[in-house]
Structure 1
């Protein structure tokens, strides 16, 4: 079957064609955007660790988790909301990935895009400048099995944070952008009915998963965690924590939330070849050239280590590996639910799926198969956007392409 090669080549070609000058609105100035991104890049690369004033935004407001799921003993953790200087609507909410923060969207919020549009960002519970669970609290486990349960504030709380921001009248987002784990959180929130005002979803580096996926490919890149091959769980997931193989564990791996150092055998080769294996997980965010270099943006290291509570990774892993039945919706069913009344296409909620050509986390063919076999009925422009020379964090690797695509998506909806 020639489907794979033709689809990938076509997607790359279409992506290149669609950002050519003749297909852009008149107020798009690509050279100006490139110069603007270079200005921010110089700012980012000259920002030493822990000297973050040049890229940190002032807090727009603080929100707190409301305990929508009625969990006993729940902590109403506070989390910050940030806002760009733009005033043009509709409101746009950016949701970051695991072991990261709102700062991963620096090329969006500080760019011409952010100066024009009302962009809001948040630090998910357990990350960035959000409030953390008390350091002396041990991770909750099931008393009968010893299986880690994690802190619900760090799992279901991620969904609550997005839902709380979505319901805030000062934010009032209509378009939601999710990177990696952030995309999964958006799908869960939408499937639970917590994003009633959503007019569009834009997911980057997210591979929606669920029962009966129409693909022979697993979502995550091989090799897989022992015992979880059928589920497609990899050593590196969208959910963003590393499995450390451990023969003494009843699961065959340790779920301790710590980054594996050095990288365990079986980690995808381009990552294990990185000169500094201690930050290999973070390097996997970027395109192949960067993840094999000896440079990593300092604030990514800070956000992944100093600013992140490792128990968040534990809690996310526990919640998504051993989910409580009936709570988290099937992501593929959520995609189907984005299609409204067949007689009224205006009811449809468009969704954009973007993936980097060098994504080290996901098999892009899986995502392409979802689109080809009708699993994404409201897919924007009827195609997955594959961005060449971009890794898992397309918005950071190829910010001009990302910003152009997001701008087109916003304008199509608004």
Structure 2
């Protein structure tokens, strides 16, 4: 596939991103731990960019972005959220929606707690949990595999297992290379930050959200307790209940893009219609739709 990327220098290092441009309402896609913006290929290579402006970023320590100069500060929910705020400022994104997957979802919730830019939030594999270790225990299924999320040094076998857990049988071999490239300090620092309760209380943030929120999870997610979502009160819950995509695991946007993309399209339609009309002033000329 073709892949077009650009660089923004932030206080947390230089980050690479891809942007379809165009006049559609903007959606920033934020990937999970140890991966990169390439996981969103099935959104970029779909009909979504015909209506919406898609922007995908490699967080610091991932993909083509730089590793953090100060990992203990950057590789936290607050540090990553600050990085996204800088990117949005540089791209003049006064209003946008965010799709956050796994780690990216937790970062998006933190960003929502400290920014007025967000007009809608889609979360997959990222249960908004109360602060601390007990909150994590309530939201995630306990298993030995979950320990990989916080393991700093990965062997090739660890990387293969991690990709398998995230993408199931639909995993491409190239994703293992992404995991091995990632700065392993992200896993240890971020997991410890969540267990300590650093940053915003994610459950309270979502339950007080002033913008629409959509939970879209896979029925076979190996990490997340799906039943946890039924007890979360969201003022504007898209679809009126947490959405579950059958036959998908931790990455429904990849495994069942045929079902996920229409949900994303409908969500963006709602957010765009509810947002002030002057968001169109943010539009920039369309660029190549594919990856380069």
What is the SS of the residue equivalent to 2:177?
Answer: helix
Choose the corresponding residue for 2:237, options 372, 379, 383: 379
What is the SS of the residue equivalent to 1:411?
Answer: helix
Within 2, Cα distance between the matches of 1:173 and 1:154? Answer: 25
Tell me, which stretches of 5 or more residues in structure 1 are unaligned? 1-53, 66-75, 135-139, 141-149, 224-233, 244-254, 263-276, 339-347
CA contact (8 A) 1:361 1:392 kept: yes
1:190-209 aligned at under 5 Å gives the runs 190-191=112-113, 193-194=114-115, 196-209=116-129
1:175 aligns with 2:97: yes
Higher relative contact order (CA 8 A, sep 6+): 2
1:85-234 aligned at under 5 Å gives the runs 87-133=22-68, 151-155=72-76, 156-191=78-113, 193-194=114-115, 196-210=116-130, 218-223=138-143
For the aligned residue pairs, the C-alpha RMSD in angstroms reads: 2.5
Q: 1:169, CA displacement in angstroms?
A: 4.1
What CA deviation, in whole Å up to 9, does each residue of 1:48-85 have, x standing for no partner? xxxxxx35x322341312xxxxxxxxxx4111221125
1:284 equivalent in structure 2: 165
Choose the corresponding residue for 2:9, options 63, 66, 73: 63
TM-score, normalised to structure 1's length? 0.60
In the superposition, relative to structure 1, how do residues 299 and 114 fare at CA in structure 2: closer, same or farther (>3 Å)?
farther
- Runs of 4+ more than 6 Å apart: none
1:311 aligns with 2:246: no
Tell me, which stretches of 5 or more residues in structure 2 are unaligned? 273-292
Q: 1:404, CA displacement in angstroms?
A: 0.3
Q: 1:261, CA displacement in angstroms?
A: 7.3
What is the SS of the residue equivalent to 2:235?
Answer: coil
Q: 1:317, CA displacement in angstroms?
A: 2.3
What is the SS of the residue equivalent to 1:200?
Answer: strand
1:257 equivalent in structure 2: 152
Within 2, Cα distance between the matches of 1:356 and 1:383? Answer: 14
Q: 1:235, CA displacement in angstroms?
A: 4.5
In the superposition, relative to structure 1, how do residues 219 and 323 fare at CA in structure 2: closer, same or farther (>3 Å)?
closer
Choose the corresponding residue for 2:208, options 337, 352, 366: 337
